[in-house]
Amino acid sequence: MSNYSSRPDRENGGISILIVDDDALNLKLFASILARRGYRVLLAMDAERGLELARQEQPDLIVMDIQLPGMSGLDAARQLKAEAETAAIPVIIATAFLVDEEQIRASACDRYLPKPFATADLISAIDTLVARAGSAAAA
């Protein structure tokens, strides 16, 4: 899967979010919620495609599951945070897999949302991290 909606101009307020999840229903749900809020949504069903899209598209934020085929979401997040071109992209781990705080800190993820979660919690986490990233980029 790739782009869910057309690419708006970032300079005119377009914000892109990459969703990495191997569950097609989760991808569809996340994409629907975020597209309705005006976000440009990119989709990947595995970590390798997620890494590729992150490098190519430079999304403003990534929401990633942990249990992915091939490579775990935590390993992918560590890789993103270790690369200069993707290190500043905020990463939210959204998973039903139980994770302790040490694993999240070790992966350098910015937020952990245990599934199931309320849509309002997802939107709040995204809005907070996108605003924080925008402030850091402007500084």
Residue 68: which CATH number?
3.40.50.2300
Q: Is residue 25 part of a domain?
A: yes
Our count of domains for the chain comes to 1
pLDDT score at 139 = 55
Within 8 A by CB and 6+ apart from 76, the residues are: 20, 47, 50, 51, 64, 68
pLDDT score at 136 = 66
Q: Is residue 3 part of a domain?
A: no
pLDDT score at 114 = 84
Q: Is residue 51 part of a domain?
A: yes
pLDDT score at 76 = 95
Q: Is residue 100 part of a domain?
A: yes
Q: Is residue 1 part of a domain?
A: no
Give the model confidence (pLDDT) of 91-121 as tens digits.
998 888 777 677 777 677 888 888 888 899 9
pLDDT score at 138 = 60
pLDDT score at 9 = 39
Domain that holds residue 95: 10-134
Q: Is residue 26 part of a domain?
A: yes
Q: Is residue 71 part of a domain?
A: yes
Is the model's pLDDT at 64 over the cut of 70? yes
End-to-end CA distance of the chain: 35
